[in-house]
Each structure stands twice: as structure tokens, then as C-alpha cells.
Structure 1
Amino acid sequence: MLTTAAAGALALSAAAVAQAAPGTPGAPAAPPRQPSEQDVGQQVDALYAQAEAATERYDGARERLRTLRTEAADLQDRLARGQDAVNRMLDDLGQVAGAEYRSGGIDPGVQLMLSSDPAHYLDGAAVVDRLAAQQADALREVAARQRALAQQRAEADARLAELERVRSALARDKRQIQDRLGRARALLGTLSAAQRARLAADDARGAELRAGRGAGRTALAALPAPADNRAAAAVAAATSALGSPYFFGAAGPRAFDCSGLTSWAWAKAGVALPRTSQGQAGAGRRVPLADARPGDLVIYYGDMHHVGMYVGGGTIIHAPYPGARVRYERVDTMPVAAVVRV
């Protein structure tokens, strides 16, 4: 049974295979012992747990990447529009300065003596003073806008630098997921087709039995109804996904990872949840496990890398790991880190 084995198998190396005891000196070494189905199941389960933790990091990085791209594009658009406005203001000021230069910059006292209408000139001088004050205001505004643009450039540069860091993290997590899944496939490949089928069947049967015990041996269809309409819609959506395959990074409607299932189900109820199990751990109010209601999120493991949805009767529905399908499970099959009411 793979899920139960995960809690105790994380320290196992995927390559750890017991060796036969050496014979007498000079005798040929005994061939390595073929790993049993149980050995392979524990090691594969450990690899799946590591892959799932990397998947949650991958989902978070992918979501952050989308946010950063939007923010960076918005900042760059604001920068372009702000720079255009500053350029127009500078152009206007340049035209005024050019006109003054072409007029010769005659001293105001000389202009008064040469004027045939001193009163008219004095009226004009007042206008010039007002224009000069307006130019000073315009210069101050240009300087303020340039300072704002410099700050926006710094913010845009910071977003772009984070964008590159997140891209690198995304690629690293994807490589780790592919590595763990590849090693798991290789381990499963050491078993015969009949052994692999038996291992999968035992795992599914064990989950079904555990779910039945969690529900107090009542039919799962008779589990208590959620307390409110939103939770009812989320539970209905999650149960409609029963039997769907697990796939890393998937959030429905045909395949899911663990947080993809819960975020998709609650989205059907009109509620937007964070994309990762760690994010969903902070998406609502914490409640004791004993007070869990249908629709609550159950977060598992110390690093909170797995999540399921409580459906009542001591049972959750979740997307377990690669190779398994969305199914019911007893709520305490894995170590519970938190229960969150959305």
C-alpha cells in the first residue's frame, strides 16, 4: 500500500537494494537480491512524495511567473507612457526657450524705454512674469516625473530580475519532478507486469478499505451534506472528478495534482484559492481536525506539500500521486498539518 508507506519511506534511497552475504574467500560474489514488491512500493512511494513536493513548488513558481509577467508588462507600459509625457513637457519648454533666444533676450528696462505704449508694455511684462512662473512650475513637475520614472525603472528591473529567478526555479523543479518520476518508472520496471498490476490493485483496494473505515462503514454516498451552498458545490465538483488521473501541474478538468483538484473544485463554487497546497494552508480559518466539515481543506506533512478535501465521516477526496486516480481516503492516512475552512 503506497500511501501508508510514504510516511516511513522518505529516507530510503531509490537505489538501495539489499546485497547477499559474501561467501567463502575466493568464491564468486552472490548476485544482488531482486527487490520485492514491498521494497519497490516503498521506494516508489518515497520518490512520488518527493516529486509531489517538487510539483507544489513548480505550481507556485508557475503562478508567480504569470503574476510577474503581468506586473512587469504593466510597469513597462507605465514607464513608456510616463517617458512620453516627460518628453512632451521637455519639448514644450525647449520651444519656449528657443523663442526667447530668438527674441534677443532684450533687457526689460530697455524694452520699456523703447516702447511707444509703456502701459501696454507693463501689461505684457506681467504676462511674461506669469509665464516665467508657469515655466518654473513645469520644470519642477518634469523633475518630479523624472524621479518617479527612475523609481518605476528600479521596480521594473527588480520584477525582471525576479522573473529570471522564478524561471530558473521553475526549470529546476521540473527537472527534479522528471528525475523522481523517471526513477520511479525504472524501479517499477524491475517488476513483472503481473507484479505491477498486483501492486496497483492492492494500493487501490487498501485506499477503498481505509475510506470505508473512515466513513464509519457507511456508504460514501451517504456522507453528511456540507453546511453551506459554496462548500456543497465544491464537494460536488471534487466528487465529480473521482477516477481522474493524477498529473503534475494539472488543475482539471480531466487530470489533477493534489492542489489542482482542490483549487478547481472550489473555483466551481465561485471561490478562487491559491494554486499550491502551501498557499491553500493560509486561504481560510484554521479549525481542529475534530471539527472538520465537508469542504474543508486538509493539509498534510510538515512542509504542507499535499492537500485533500474533507467530505465527512473521517474521509477526504484527493489526487494522491502519479499512477493513481482521484479517490477517497481516510483523513488520517497521512500526517495532518492543518485543517482550513474556506
Structure 2
Amino acid sequence: MNRRRHAIATLGVVCALTVLASPALTLQASAAPLPPPPPTQPKKTLEEVRQEIDGLYRQAAVATDAYNLAEEKAKEQSGEIVKLARMVVSGQKRIDDLKARAGAAARAQYRNGGLPDGAQFVLTNDPQLFLDNAGRLKEGQKATSDLLAELTAEQELLTTYTTDASVNWTKLEDNRLKQAAARKEINSKIDAAKKLESQLAAEERARLLRLEEQAQYRAQTAWVNSGVLKGLTGKATPEARRAVEFATAQIGKPYVWGAEGPGSYDCSGLTQSAWASAGRPIPRTSQEQWRLLPHVDIKDMRPGDLIVYFKDASHIGMYVGNGAIVHAPRPGRNVTIAGAGSMEILGVVRPS
């Protein structure tokens, strides 16, 4: 009987403890709720992906222009440093020669007993000798004066050459840093674009290409329908024909940023090389070609002229007639013929 009462009492304690513990457990659970699931990002449409990829390649093109400009400036500065170094060597040789001549004059004076020629002439007892040598004394004094003036001038030039070389070296290092930063930017944008494309299935990539072609076709159609080509009668000059022939001969070669041929090109590398083949050097980048070459109204456009694209002048192609251009489009594409109005036109420039 006692054992039964003890079991009942024990059971009652356990139940009481359970009841007392339950609110605490409920409070603890309510005090730390589970975080809500992250919002689901809406999947981008293929057109949005196309625009994003196009934007990344555009940014890479801007960085490529910066790289090409820094490279061109670095080449100029390297050439200037070499030229200045040669001038420093030549100047130093000239100074050494002048010093040797001055030393020879000093040694001659020493051999004459330490007296200058003028004093020796004054001390002579022969009036005729004095008269004969007076003219030569005057000439000698002028020669000595000229020698010292020339030596001073050469030393000043040498100092200038050395300073200029130092300035150009600083600029060279600055442009090398710009090249490195631009190279990093280019690769970053291209890698991001390739990553986006790689995440698409094969069928989606094919559709992406069709979307790209359709967007270009719509832009070209609207451009032609605007009547922009009506009245274009300009004929290519002999130099322009050579440039066009060179550019079209590169069709099928791959786009590579920073490339100037012969196996691959970027957009401005193609136009620069084409005009160089015609004997007309032009700036390296599309932005510099737009800035420095003469501008032409579209209604006066003729084959061989260069059409510059986008507000930042980040792309360029060569007009070949009949509303078409030859250009190096972007990474992953080859040099090709395209509609001149298939992209946003900034303006037209004429190298010849």
C-alpha cells in the first residue's frame, strides 16, 4: 500500500514538472522564429541576358580603347627615351671634345712659361712681330670665348636631355600602370559575359544569337528606311579603295582585343591597319580616330570612310558602300560585313 502511494506521488510530481516546463518551452520557441526563406529572384528573359552580355562587351570595348591608347603613348615615350639617350651620348662626346680642346689650350699656355699669348706679345722687342701677331691674338681670344660659350651651351643641352628623359620615363611607367588596369578590366568584363553565356543551354545560346541578329536587322531596316542612303554618290578615292580592299580581305579573322593584325584584329586595329596599307597613318583607337580625323556628314559618306558607334565612340567600322560596313565586332566574333545602321551611329570620319 505504501509502495502504491509512493508511485502515485512520484507520477504527480513528474506531471507537475511537465506542466510547469511547457510554457517556458513555448516562450523559447516563439523568441527565436525561423528566418523567412529568401525571396525568389525572377528569372531573366533571354532578351535581358542578351542586353546584359552586350553591355559587358561594350564596357570591355571602352577598356580596350584605354589599353590601346596607353600602349600607343608608351611606345611613343619609349621611342623618345631612346632618342634622348642617343642625344645624351652625343652631347657628352661633344663636351668631352670641347674639354679636350680647352685642356690643350691650357697646356700650351703652360709650355709658354705660364704667360698668356697677349703678355708675350707685349713684352717682345720686335714691333713688326707685335703687329703681325696682334690680329691672331684677337682671333685666339674670340676662339677661346666661343669655345667656353659652346661648352656651356652643350652642358645646358645635356641637362635638358637628361631631364626630358626622366619625365618621359615617369610617363612611360604611368601608362604601363594604365595598361595593366585596363587589361584587368577587359578580362573581367569578357569573363563575366562568357560566364553568362555558359549558363545557357545550347538551345538558348542559339536563340540568343538569333535575338542579336534580329536586333541588328531591325536597327538596319529602320536606318535604311529613313532615307539616309538616298543621294549618296560619293566614290572612293584610290587610297580609300586600297583601304577597303585590305579590310575586306581580313573577313573571317578573329576579333582579339588589342590586336593590330595580321592574324587578328580589334575594331580600331582593323581600320588603322587598313588605312596604313593605303599609305595613310591614322590614330590607334576608335575614340582618337573620332576625335582627330575630319568629320563628314552621313549624306556625304563614301566607301573608305569610318563610321563611329555609340556615344562613347567605343566601336568603329569601315563603310564599304551599299549601306554596309566591314568591322571586327567583339570577342567571340570574326571580322565580318554588317549593316552600317545596325548599331547606334555617333558620326562619320574621313582619313583621306
Normalised by the length of structure 2, the TM-score is 0.78
Q: Which residue number in structure 1 is paired with residue 62 of structure 2?
A: 53
CA distance in 2, matches of 1:123, 1:283: 66
2:290 pairs with 1:290: no
Q: Which residue number in structure 1 is paired with residue 152 of structure 2?
A: 143
Is contact 1:215–1:313 with CA below 8 Å preserved after alignment?
A: no
Tell me by how many angstroms 1:150 deviates.
2.2
Amino acid in structure 2 at the alignment position of 1:47 = L
Is contact 2:57–2:190 with CA below 8 Å preserved after alignment?
A: yes
Is contact 2:220–2:342 with CA below 8 Å preserved after alignment?
A: no
Q: Which residue number in structure 2 is paired with residue 193 of structure 1?
A: 202
2:79 pairs with 1:70: yes
Tell me by how many angstroms 1:173 deviates.
1.0
2:52 pairs with 1:43: yes
Tell me by how many angstroms 1:33 deviates.
4.2
Is contact 1:214–1:313 with CA below 8 Å preserved after alignment?
A: no
2:336 pairs with 1:321: no
Q: Which aligned pairs between 1:98-113 and structure 2 lie closer than 5 A?
A: 98-106=107-115, 111=120
Tell me by how many angstroms 1:50 deviates.
0.6
Larger helix fraction of residues? 2
CA distance in 1, matches of 2:135, 2:88: 38
- Unaligned runs of at least 5 residues, structure 1: 1-23, 217-222
Amino acid in structure 2 at the alignment position of 1:55 = T
Q: Which residue number in structure 2 is paired with residue 179 of structure 1?
A: 188
Amino acid in structure 1 at the alignment position of 2:315 = H
The 3-state SS of whatever aligns with 1:59 is: helix
Q: Which residue number in structure 2 is paired with residue 166 of structure 1?
A: 175
Is contact 1:300–1:338 with CA below 8 Å preserved after alignment?
A: yes
| Deviation larger for 42-51 or 107-116 | 107-116
Amino acid in structure 1 at the alignment position of 2:333 = A
2:258 pairs with 1:249: yes
Report the count of equivalent residues: 313
The 3-state SS of whatever aligns with 2:342 is: coil
Q: Identical aligned pairs, as a percentage?
A: 35
- From 130, 143, 151, the equivalent of 1:134 is 143
Q: Which residue number in structure 1 is paired with residue 25 of structure 2?
A: none
Tell me by how many angstroms 1:276 deviates.
0.9
Tell me by how many angstroms 1:81 deviates.
0.2
Amino acid in structure 1 at the alignment position of 2:202 = A
Q: Deviations over 1:67-96 (max 9, x none)?
A: 211111111101110111012101210221
Q: Which residue number in structure 1 is paired with residue 94 of structure 2?
A: 85
Q: Which residue number in structure 2 is paired with residue 309 of structure 1?
A: 318
2:272 pairs with 1:272: no
The 3-state SS of whatever aligns with 2:307 is: strand
The 3-state SS of whatever aligns with 2:252 is: coil
RMSD: 3.0
Is contact 2:217–2:342 with CA below 8 Å preserved after alignment?
A: no
Is contact 1:226–1:295 with CA below 8 Å preserved after alignment?
A: no
Normalised by the length of structure 1, the TM-score is 0.80
Tell me by how many angstroms 1:271 deviates.
2.2
133 and 287 in structure 1: CA distance in 2 versus 1, 3 angstrom threshold: closer
Amino acid in structure 2 at the alignment position of 1:71 = E
Tell me by how many angstroms 1:334 deviates.
2.7
The 3-state SS of whatever aligns with 1:281 is: helix
Q: Which residue number in structure 2 is paired with residue 259 of structure 1?
A: 268
